[in-house]
Structure 1
Amino acid sequence: MSPSRVTYAPVGFGDYHWTVTDDDGRPWFATVSDLEHKEHCGQGAVAALKGLRQAMDTALTLRERDGLRFVVAPVAAADGGPVLPLDDRYALTVFPHVPGRAGEFGQRLSEAERDQVLDLLAELHGRTPPETTPPAAVEPPGLDGVLAALDESEGPWSGGPFAEPARKLLREHEATLRERLAAFETLVARVRGRGAPLVVTHGEPHPGNLILGDEGHLLVDWDTVGLALPERDLALLSDDPAALTRYTELTGRTPDPDALALYRLRWSLLDVAEFVEWFRGEHQRTEDTESAWKGFTDTLEHLATASG
């Protein structure tokens, strides 16, 4: 593929994206990942590159071997792999451009739309996991950093304009955070003790990773794919098993309320960990940090409300 036009696409949060048109007029979607900040794929650039390759190989297998047409998988590079390292820190992945209406994170799905996504998840969870499917850790990365930040919340933070406000906000919510961290550990022990089988999960099947095309919903952003309990995916649609009856009808499996609660709480704690790392480190006031600050305050308020 030789690009004739490249346009930056300010979408998503974390990676960098461009729309690319080749010499034949075909559109593509290119993503550059910062491997130093892709902890869900691995700690550090080397491990993250390996994890990203496993994830993209898994997506390719699900689409090509299993025929899951809703999986938006990357195309292979010249070396046959789906991920091309650009240097020691950045890696490139190229996807077919998918026409359709993209969803937005936080968007509320109708009951019919939710059931359509449950149809996809039931099909995904029923497949034999590809050999490349990485395990999805239950404990979110960065929790040690949250505990360290709580222990060091008395002194000033000086990484940037949001450092001190973040320290004060974290200190204000310290009791809530410690209580929710303890609740998370209790849920982990309870759910693990039940020994439920693991399946291949997408990891983040929220509306922001959905595209509605001519043949129904498609799922993008497979870098979070991993072996886990089905509730890892289901919890992002609802924490109420009664709202997930379509999944039970298709699979014969009733979602575990404790596992749903576990993954809902995990999502919030992961956000807190990422925001704490961001605001304790060197940063500037940008659109991204403004957005992150709102996410940080909203997440802590949500945890306080849920705890109450």
Structure 2
Amino acid sequence: MRDEPAEISCELVARILDEHWGFRAAEVVFAPVGFGSQHWIASQEDGPRWFVTADQGGGRAVGNAMRTAKELADRAYEFVVAPLPARDGRLVQEGLPGWVFAVLPYLHGWSTPDGPWEDAAERVQIARVLGRLHAAPAPESLQRWDFAIPNRDELMVAFEELDQPWSGGPYAEPARLRLAGAREYVHSRLAQYDVLVREVEAFDDPWVVTHGEAHSANVVRTADGMRLVDWGTARLAPRERDLTGIHDGSADVLAAYQSAAGPVSPRAAALELFNAWWPLGEIASYVQLFRRPHVESEDSKESWRELTVYLPG
């Protein structure tokens, strides 16, 4: 997120680190990275650094995802960046009402600002990593993915209210007009998605451990190799949930994936399903956001930019 939450100061983050983890931070700075969670970088003088995350709501889901990452890391899947346990052994703590915090090791490396895998050699590397992940036994805490498109019901309500102005904030009316112009497009994509769901549900291939957002921006390149961060969306799901971002028909990518996952290949219908699921979920989420009260901010600007990417003008 680009906008620092008013209710969480750097001083509060330092107190939470001290109280729950026993980490004495000499400095805490807000990190305007990612989208969804809030982040800070905490450090000691000439000592360790930590990456702190906070999520509003969904504490149980966040806890399950963190336990999944920790179990995978404990099984020597070195590409998994897992949270550090607090003093009481828990991986997440409620730092203030409605907010849960987790602390991860700070990685020295680099990532990309956007998600697409543009480098062919890196695409092969991440295919091998995902192959190992998909071959892993499922952790007990891993939740099962479902086919529902987030905020779909709210999107249907928005369609019913296109004939009256929206007044949630500066992007409310632009969002209404954009959605009105793309009404047929979105309805046809939803209908196509529902057909694909019925087809993929009939497959008998076992579901696997998936990261959910294994794009380039969620991979830190370190001296010791690729490290996958942001495990909040980890779910038991069809393998294509992760493969849509790397599958390009390349024999090298498929061979790298199969070297760890075994003799399995992505299925066209499942690839198509996940290629439809993501933009539909983004459209529904951003429409819901702009129908609610909002203000002009860096986050709302970025949300509007994303909506215009997924929703034809």
Instruction: Report the TM-score when normalising by structure 1.
Output: 0.90
Aligned to 1:5: 27
Query: 1: CA distance between counterparts of 2:227 and 2:108?
Result: 10
The answer to whether the 8 A contact 1:9-1:18 is kept is yes
The answer to whether the 8 A contact 2:212-2:233 is kept is yes
Structure 1 residues 269-280: aligned runs within 5 Å: 269-280=280-291
Structure 1 residues 70-109: aligned runs within 5 Å: 70-109=79-118
Query: 2: CA distance between counterparts of 1:268 and 1:49?
Result: 25
The answer to whether the 8 A contact 1:240-1:257 is kept is no
Amino acid at match of 2:303: A
Aligned to 2:64: 54
CA deviation after TM superposition for structure 1 residue 139, in Å: 1.5
Residue deviations 1:272-302, cap 9 Å, x none?
011011100000111111111111011013x
Check 1:114–1:133 CA distance in 2 against 1; reply closer, same or farther (3 A cut): same
Amino acid at match of 2:270: A
The answer to whether the 8 A contact 1:203-1:233 is kept is yes
Amino acid at match of 2:290: F
The answer to whether the 8 A contact 1:231-1:263 is kept is yes
Query: 2: CA distance between counterparts of 1:256 and 1:266?
Result: 15
Aligned to 2:168: 159
The answer to whether the 8 A contact 2:127-2:254 is kept is no
Residue deviations 1:86-135, cap 9 Å, x none?
13310110000011111222344222111100111000110100100011
Query: 1: CA distance between counterparts of 2:283 and 2:297?
Result: 19
Q: State which drifts further: 190-199 or 234-243.
A: 234-243
Amino acid at match of 1:230: R
Please give the secondary structure, in 2, of the residue aligned with 1:222: coil
Query: 2: CA distance between counterparts of 1:58 and 1:201?
Result: 11
Aligned to 1:184: 193
The answer to whether the 8 A contact 1:2-1:23 is kept is no
Query: 1: CA distance between counterparts of 2:76 and 2:269?
Result: 32
Amino acid at match of 1:61: E
Of the three residues 184, 200, 203, the one matched with 2:209 is 200
Q: State which drifts further: 102-111 or 178-187.
A: 102-111
Residue deviations 1:35-93, cap 9 Å, x none?
1xxxxxxxxxxxx11111111000000001x2011101100011201101113310110
Q: Percent identity?
A: 36
Query: 2: CA distance between counterparts of 1:225 and 1:104?
Result: 21
Check 1:249–1:62 CA distance in 2 against 1; reply closer, same or farther (3 A cut): closer
Please give the secondary structure, in 2, of the residue aligned with 1:224: coil
Query: 1: CA distance between counterparts of 2:119 and 2:203?
Result: 32
Matched, 1:25 2:47: yes
Query: 1: CA distance between counterparts of 2:195 and 2:241?
Result: 17
Size of the aligned set, in residue pairs, is 289
Q: State which drifts further: 227-236 or 15-24.
A: 15-24
Query: 1: CA distance between counterparts of 2:196 and 2:248?
Result: 14
Aligned to 1:42: none
Check 1:192–1:244 CA distance in 2 against 1; reply closer, same or farther (3 A cut): farther
Query: 2: CA distance between counterparts of 1:249 and 1:194?
Result: 23
Q: State which drifts further: 106-115 or 201-210.
A: 106-115
Query: 2: CA distance between counterparts of 1:140 and 1:244?
Result: 29
Query: 2: CA distance between counterparts of 1:243 and 1:147?
Result: 42
Please give the secondary structure, in 2, of the residue aligned with 1:20: strand
Check 1:25–1:80 CA distance in 2 against 1; reply closer, same or farther (3 A cut): same
Please give the secondary structure, in 2, of the residue aligned with 1:18: strand
Amino acid at match of 1:269: L
Aligned to 2:236: 227
Query: 2: CA distance between counterparts of 1:70 and 1:200?
Result: 14
Query: 2: CA distance between counterparts of 1:241 and 1:147?
Result: 39
Q: State which drifts further: 19-28 or 281-290.
A: 19-28
Instruction: Report the TM-score when normalising by structure 2.
Output: 0.89
Aligned to 1:136: 145
Amino acid at match of 1:4: A
**Structure 1 unmatched runs, 5+:** 36-47
Q: State which drifts further: 241-250 or 79-88.
A: 241-250
Please give the secondary structure, in 2, of the residue aligned with 1:218: strand
Please give the secondary structure, in 2, of the residue aligned with 1:147: helix
